[in-house]
Structure 1
Amino acid sequence: MPKPQSRSESPSVSPTSTVLGNGQEPSAVIGTASEHDVTSTHTTSSHSPPDSVDLESQSATTRRPSVINVLRKFSSTFSDQIPPHWKPNHINEKRDTRSLEDYPKGFPRFAAWMNCDENFLMTRRYGWLHNRVMLYRQSELRQLEIKLQLCDEGDEESKDPALVDHRMFARGDAGEYRKELIQQIDEKLEQYDSIVRRVKEMSSLPKATRRNYTSVCNHIDKHAPIAQREQDVFMNDSDFVALVEQHETKSFDGFVEDILTLLPCKRVTQFFFSNAEQRASSTDESLFLYDKRRIDVFIRLIMTFLAVGLLLAPVVVLFREQDSGTVKIVVILVFTLFFSLALSLATRARRAEVFAATAAYCAVLVVFLGNFIPGNSAVVSS
């Protein structure tokens, strides 16, 4: 007796064949569908995590891009605040890194050496030649001035209306002479004014310091970068002027640089007070180039400690010496003199400024002595 067909097997072929209707084999479709169902069922049954894990993974996935975007926004905002001169660029990577020895001998190498440090930038003022030209133009103007005065005196005697009427100034032979004379005076005045301005500009340049002039002469004597007849230009030290304006502590900077040069540890000194470009600029061991910014920072530190020491050292001495009034007076005198000397040598303060600062410093010490030190009656009685 045949077995009845089960309910699960009856719709497996007919609905599929009815729906397809495109010549495909029902068995192939059924097999494909069953394999897909089995695979999906197996995957779902074996890897399906709990609902809480799905929510956490989804929240982490959605949270990660937002954190990255916030970091990118913060970095872009921070990079916009960086000054342009702090950012690296391709220009600095392609800068000229030639040393002095890479330049041809003679004026090219000598010019490169002078360009290494602003202290070497000096030139002759040629004051004698400027004065000669100015005196010559002055004499020419004086002769033309005499001619014009004689012409005016002749016009006054002859009652020439050219003195009072400009339209009559250039009429006739006398008028042409006056017109030509005025033109000559104008040309000579232009030349004279030009030389006067040049003399003024050259005279306003600061004189080259003895230290910088000696450095240039020593380099010429040692290396002979130019011919002997060209070296005669540097024989007149009083005629050389500096092309760079000296700042407040220029002389003190030179003193500090000289002290650093005399130190035995040359490499350590150059490491701290010279940049990499200056260290690679030359193989000459006698050439010491210092970074002005680093020297300036070092000078500021020295001035800071010096100022604090000048203020606190006499206070400590006066506070400890409470018995001898003579010692207190001597301490005030010595530290006041030392303060005035340091102010005059380490800065470019004018005389009035030095006097005012010294008076204020002495007043501070006297006030401290009178108000804050016990036993100050000894000073008054002495």
Structure 2
Amino acid sequence: MNEESLPLNPITKTENIAPPISTTSLQSYNYLETSSGLDNDLEVLSSKSDKRINWRERIEKENEGVVYVNDFPQGYPRYSALLNSDKSFQVWRRFSTLRTRLLLLKQDELSRLEEQLENIDAEDEELFPIFLGNNREDTNQDRKEILKKIDIALNDYDSFLKRQYRTFNLEPSRDRAISSLRNWHDNNKSLASEEIKYLNRRDLFTLLGNGSWSDRLIDLINGYFNTTKKPRRERSANIMEERMRQMIRVLQAALMAVLLFTPVIICNFVSNLTYIMIIIVGTTAIFIAILSLIARTRMKSFDLVIAGTTYATVLVVFISGTNGINN
């Protein structure tokens, strides 16, 4: 079969179309390393199936800027492309219990070495106390060996603690991303059931963060409206909720306008300075509360203070300009 006769995989209306991947997110798939390697891949593909998109057609799509997840072979290649299509899909297990167990073992090893060193020091305190205060004259080889082991064990322990700290500070993955991956797997069956079970674990985290606060609003809206869930196979596997994102952007602009101009309009009808200050303090508190609810772990307390101060300053400037309030 000729390379040109390989047809594209037709897409019907009933198929679940996975989201396109940008060219930059597929740099790990280097199809043009050698021309001979490309020809070999084309021969293998043409001998196996005439329904699968060939490498050359995929490269042409990549040059055009759009490559679909379904263009990749079924199995780990397609599932890897899906995970690479959006940073919220970078969901991995934390292995919290295993990490904690290893940390306990390393801690116990250091405790045993510490106990051995204390025993050696106690013996020398009775027999050769001078060695404990003069390291250059110390001839106790057991103590030197124990100290070397302690140094190695401490380095390993400290390195593991740093890895543990970084891992446990990564954000937990969102239910929406996990549900999307499960739905996609239910519709595509790319991996064996045993190898997709990790999505049912509770210690999942997202490697690249959970996105902007507008994504969190999407989660809140989905959680509010999805009171009756459809069966997994009836739900769409289209994961790029673009319409929802556009709606959130509109709501974001409207919310900012309301928070900024509503107190200004109210203060136009208020002449008492005390009431104006109460309005400023109240709206600033509402702004910080909304921001903390949406951002959650993505913003520290210091960032919330800065955001609230900036908002209050802008509000005072607006109200001062409209009402002529000084100081």
| TM-score, with length taken from structure 1 | 0.51
Deviation readout 1:361-382 (Å, 9 max, x if unpaired): 664576568647xxxxxxxxxx
Q: Specify the alignment match of 1:312 in structure 2.
A: 261
Structure 2 counterpart of 1:158: 127
Which residues of 2 match residues 90-239 of structure 1 at below 5 A? 95=62, 98-170=67-139, 175-237=140-202, 239=203
Q: Structure 2: how far apart are the matches of 1:360 and 1:101?
A: 51
Residue identity matched to 1:242: T
Distance 1:363 1:195, change over 3 A: same
Alpha-carbon distance, 1:339 to partner? 3.6
Paired amino acid for 1:218: N
Equivalence for 1:380: none
**In the alignment, is the contact (CA less than 8 A) between 1:208 and 1:240 conserved in 2?**
yes
Q: Percent of aligned pairs with the same residue?
A: 26
Give unpaired runs (5+ residues) of structure 2. 1-31, 33-58, 223-234
* Residue deviations 1:2-23 (CA, integer Å, cap 9, x gap): xxxxxxxxxxxxxxxxxxxxxx
Q: Partner letter of residue 312 of structure 1? A: F
The AA in structure 2 aligned to 1:287 is: N
Q: For the Cα contact (< 8 Å) 1:332–1:365, is it kept in 2? A: no
User: d(CA) in 2 for partners of 1:98 and 1:363?
Assistant: 50
Q: Please, which of 217, 232, 243 is the counterpart of residue 207 of structure 2?
A: 243
Q: 2:305 maps to what in 1? A: 352
Q: CA deviation at 1:159?
A: 2.6
Matched-pair contact (CA < 8 Å) for 2:107–2:157:
yes
**1:339 and 1:228, CA in 2 relative to 1: closer, same or farther beyond 3 A?**
same
What's the offset of the Cα at 1:333? 8.2
Separation (CA, whole Å) in 1 of partners of 2:67 and 2:290: 41
Count of matched residue positions in the alignment of Structure 1 and Structure 2: 247
The residue type paired with residue 110 of structure 1 is Y
- Contact 1:169-1:178 at 8 Å conserved across structures: no
Separation in 2, partners of 1:149, 1:324:
74
- Local SS of the residue matching 2:125: helix
Tell me the TM-score normalised to structure 2 length: 0.59
Partner of 2:214: 252
Distance in 2 between the 1:343 and 1:184 partners?
Answer: 50
Q: Aligned partner of 2:309: which letter?
A: A
Larger relative contact order (Cα-Cα within 8 Å, sequence gap ≥ 6): 2
Q: Is the 8 A contact 1:134 1:192 kept in 2?
A: yes
Q: CA deviation at 1:112?
A: 1.3
Corresponding position of 1:38 = none
Contact 1:122–1:240, Cα closer than 8 Å, also in 2: yes
CA distance in 2, matches of 1:191, 1:328: 60
Aligned counterparts of 1:107 and 1:101: Cα–Cα separation in 2:
12
Tell me how far 1:337 sits from its aligned partner: 5.9
Q: 1:191 to 1:176 in 2, by over 3 A?
A: same
Checking the alignment, whether the CA contact within 8 Å between 2:89 and 2:181 is kept in structure 1 is yes
Task: Encode CA deviations 1:301-333: one digit per residue, 9 max, x unaligned.
Answer: 7655543443334434554x57999x9999878
CA distance in 2, matches of 1:336, 1:201: 34
Aligned 8 A contact 1:336 1:361 in 2 = no
Flag the structure with larger Rg: 1
Matched residues in 2 for 1:230 and 1:107: separation? 10
Whole-angstrom CA distance in 2 between matches of 1:194 and 1:322: 61
Contact 2:173 2:210 in 1 (8 A): no
Whichever residue aligns with residue 185 of structure 1, its letter is I
Correspondence for 1:287: 238
What residue in structure 1 maps to residue 4 of structure 2? Answer: none
Q: 1:113 to 1:220 in 2, by over 3 A?
A: same
Q: Which moved more, 1:358-367 or 1:133-142?
A: 358-367
Structure 1 residue 227: deviation in Å? 2.0
Match of 1:18 in 2: none
Q: Which secondary structure state, in structure 2, belongs to the residue aligned with residue 123 of structure 1?
A: strand
1:87-130 Cα shifts (integer Å, max 9, x gaps)? xxxx9968466532233322222111111111101211112111
1:176 is displaced (CA, Å) by 3.1
